[in-house]
Chains A and B, each alone.
Chain A
Amino acid sequence: MENRKQMTSEESLTIIQQMITQAKVDITDNGFGWLLWGSLIFLTCISTYVFIDIGSANIFLGWNIFGILTIILLLFDVFRHKKKPVRTYVGDLLKLVDIGFIICLFTVIFSINVAVSPNSGFGFFLMIFAFLMLVRGGALKSRALIVGAMVNWAGALAIFVNKEFRYDMLIMAAAVLAGYIIPGLLLMKQYRKSNNIG
């Protein structure tokens, strides 16, 4: 672009319009995070169900491993090299939502360890999962994530009503499948298509 000073009002408006369109930074997601996180929780729920069924002494073994893996993945994400040429107001807001989500997550984990029964605690997990799915789904314009959020809220209610813990694990596995794994696969497919990958 040159720097001509003689511009008509139409030319000025065209520049403004073009640049505002150029500045639109679409929020994209390759779906990997949803798939990874969803698969981990899904497998942990199923393992817990199996441990209860076979009468294992340590039914929370899967959750202990999941907790360690979560901390490692979070630290990896914090220290990962991320260079973004532009910062948007929406991007910054989503970052705060993510931080809030992680704080809520660890608060629920803490509450399960000190006060809240696992029967209810896992319902709170689904509640905060749903919140993140709704916000992210809105930002990404992903109907699958928004539907996933509704399924997770329904799952949370089902967990609060249900009294047998092992079925809570099956409810949670189903909610995670609908809220994380399926939207994750769809987002990955969409991302690969829009970036001509594979």
Chain B
Amino acid sequence: MEFKELDPILHSQLRLAVISLLIGLKEAEFTFIKEKTNATAGNLSVQINKLKEAEYIQVTKQFKDNYPQTLCRITPKGIDAFEKYVLALQSYMKPG
């Protein structure tokens, strides 16, 4: 049986968590992702940057009511990568 290679960008705990979180949402604030993933701000920031560099997510920084706000949303490339990652995982899980 052939095993598909797992995307190294997604095969990391926090990055996978971020993408899995964003897959069902239209847009989420950095603070929301931090709360849900239980990650530190520094670590999350680094991983979000990596996902952004891979063009898996789109990051928008803006000011709202005088406070900085970072918004993240998954891109079509990110959705595609996530779907491929899940398919690859399935090939590992299938018996035989």
Contact = CB atoms under 8 A, between A and B. Distances in A.
Contacts of B6: 12
Contact of A23 (B13, B25, B38): B25
B56 to A, nearest CB: 15
Interface in B25-68: 25-29, 31-32, 36-39, 43, 47, 64-65
B21 A3 contact: no
Given A1-B39, A86-B29, A20 B12 contact: no
Nearest to B18: A19
Contacts of A5: 11-13
A22 B35 CA distance: 10
A81 B85 CA distance: 40
Interface residues of B, number: 33
B81 interface: no
Nearest to B89: A9
B28 A19 contact: no
A193 interface: no
A68 interface: no
Contact of A1 (B28, B37, B92): B37
Contact of B20 (A2, A4, A15): A15
A198 interface: no
